[in-house]
Amino acid sequence: MAPFKLQPGAEIDGFTIGECVHRGGMATLWSVTRPDITVPLLMKVPRVAEGEDPAAIVSFEMEQQILPRLNGVHVPACFGTGDFAQQAYVVMERIAGETLYKRLPALPLAYEEARALAAGIATALADLHRQNVVHHDIKPSSIMFRASGEAVLIDFGLSHHNHLPDLLQEEFRLPYGTAPYMAPERLLGVRDDPRSDLFALGVLLYFFTTGERPFGETETLRGMRRRLWRDPQPPRKLKADYPPWLQEIVLRCLEIQPVWRYPTASQLAFDLSHPDEVRLTARSERLRRDPLSTAWRRRFNPELTLPRAKSDIAAQLAASPIVAVAIDTAEGSEELNAALRLTAGRMLATLPSARLACVNVLKLGRLTIDRTLDEAGHNKHVDRLVALRHWASPLALDEGRLTVHVLEAVDEASAILEFANANRVDHIIIGARADSMLRSLLGSVSAKVAAEAPCTVTVVRPPRAASAPRGEAGTSGAAAG
């Protein structure tokens, strides 16, 4: 079969080739159209000419396998692939706009702008990791934003799919990726840990807020290996006004050992979305790197220089959920709140990396003007924050695993659902009160949450009369009546 000639006007599998819009080191991009597809399209074609890097072919095969399996707003939709027998290609949705690479001349960005960008990227990574994929090439040129605000990840040629053969690892011994953003474990051949993407996002956030890359521009393998034992300069050394909460997040992402970083992208996105709730540790105050004695101990620590056991993306995510518990701080809620605490405690005891978000809704009137202070002159919002921490105190959680949130809204159920959606909550625990005529007519908060939540919901009922058998604490996975 004669080789297909890529040129404007040519047709292949119903796609009509338009103009060449980009020539990269490993592939070219062409605009294409098809009569039955109305969205703008791009065709990605690998470079296979004499002298081209063979890794370009392998990485393209990886993208051909992975991209059609992905879905959601955080990736381009895939509309077709072609094999190497005639012409290898991937046709995908053309995202309007530019990549973050175009923002580099404007660095450093304002802290709030960089925080919002990073939160969007972390949310996109959380969605990707839930689909069993580690991106492995997070950098400004692989990130775009839709007009509606969602981050979109592109270029999956270096990615790892937990359920597919990893051709790059099977055929090459050297790590492939963009050197300044490569996680330390990548240098040891580890490609199945989603926390590698969090390291890369930490590099990007450091770069976008300081104007400097934490590990410089080195491209040599020897230079890259130093990050197995050498930490970067703290951002506060470069910028005196650097917010402590932001340094805490950045340096946690850049920890050498994956286990010291955020356990999931969802938890990172949560902190970026709630900077006031970030628990500050010694990281936030650092002004200099670790001493050379510490770096040398790491240098000769075999745990940091030997390959690690294979990880399981799904198991890692399942062990690190974000759990939201809806608490009623009104008088007369003690029994129900105790049952909620018992349920939450049992769940957290089996999930040591889980995070608990205690949520209360300060209900607003539809027609009235709401007062900030109660009859005693106390601030209602502050009082409820204190009450939430008091509720959680018996759980004895590390501060890094606990946040409290008072939501002000007219509709309590809608506020809880919106919080769960915005923060990628994995599990909601909510109480159901006793039946009443009003609840029968209007429906209960717990019933609406259980019916519409994007995640698992556990509805907890208060304990029954004292004569009830032991062990019936009132937990139930069903919606409240």
Residue 396 vs residues 179, 218, 344, 444, 481: alpha-carbon distances, Å? 41, 45, 12, 31, 33
Which pLDDT does position 444 carry in this prediction?
83
pTM for this entry: 0.87
Q: Quote the CA–CA distance of 436 and 132 in Å, as a whole number.
A: 45
Instruction: Tell me if residue 253 falls in helix, strand or coil.
Output: helix
Q: For the chain, first and last CA: distance in Å?
A: 67
What is Dmax (Cα atoms) for the chain?
86
Per-residue pLDDT, 324? 96
Reported as a single tens digit per residue, the pLDDT across 141-157 is 999 999 999 999 999 99
Cα gap 449→168, rounded to integer Å: 44
Give yes or no on whether 11-93 and 100-317 have one common fold. Answer: no
The neighbouring-strand residues paired with 431 are: 460
- Partnered with residue 133 across adjacent β-strands are 161
Yes or no: say if 79 and 200 are a contact pair by the CB < 8 Å rule: no
Q: Where are the domains of the chain?
A: 11-93, 100-317, 321-476
The mean of the pLDDT values for the chain is 87
| Confidence class for position 239, pLDDT limits 50, 70, 90 | very high
CB 33 within 8 Å of CB 20: no
Mean pLDDT of 35-56: 83
Nearest Cα residue to 460 out of 335, 352, 320: 335
Q: Where are the beta strands (DSSP E) in 13-75?
A: 15-23, 27-34, 37-46
Instruction: Classify residue 236 by its DSSP letter.
Output: H
Does the pLDDT at position 66 exceed 80? yes
Distance separating alpha carbons of residues 299 and 2, to the nearest angstrom: 55
pLDDT at 70: 97
- Strand segments, DSSP code E, in 63-153 are 78-82, 89-93, 133-134, 143-145, 151-153
| pLDDT interval class at 366 (50, 70, 90) | low
Banded model confidence at residue 377, pLDDT cuts 50, 70, 90: low
Looking at mean pLDDT, say which of 181-185, 202-206, 446-450 comes out highest.
202-206
8 A C-beta contact, residue 480 and residue 434: no
- CATH assignment, 100-317: 1.10.510.10
Residues 6+ apart with CB under 8 A from 404: 277, 357, 358, 359, 360, 385, 388, 389, 392
pLDDT value of residue 233: 96
> Any idea what DSSP says for residue 286?
-
- Tell me the per-residue pLDDT of 83-105, one tens digit each, with 9 for 90 and over: 887 889 999 999 999 999 999 99
273-313 pLDDT, tens digit each: 999 999 999 999 999 998 888 888 888 776 655 555 566 78
Which residue intervals of 287-426 are DSSP H helices? 292-299, 302-305, 313-318, 334-349, 380-392, 412-422
- The class (CATH top level) of 321-476 is alpha beta
The string of pLDDT tens digits covering residues 379-402 is: 788 888 899 999 999 999 987 899
Place domain 11-93 in its CATH homologous superfamily.
Phosphorylase Kinase; domain 1 (3.30.200.20)
% of the chain beyond a pLDDT of 90: 62
pLDDT reported for residue 473:
40
DSSP per residue, 259-270: GGS-S-HHHHHH
Query: What contacts 24+ positions apart, CB below 8 Å, involve 174-179?
Result: 174/221, 176/55, 176/59, 177/136, 177/137, 178/137, 178/139, 179/217, 179/218, 179/219, 179/224
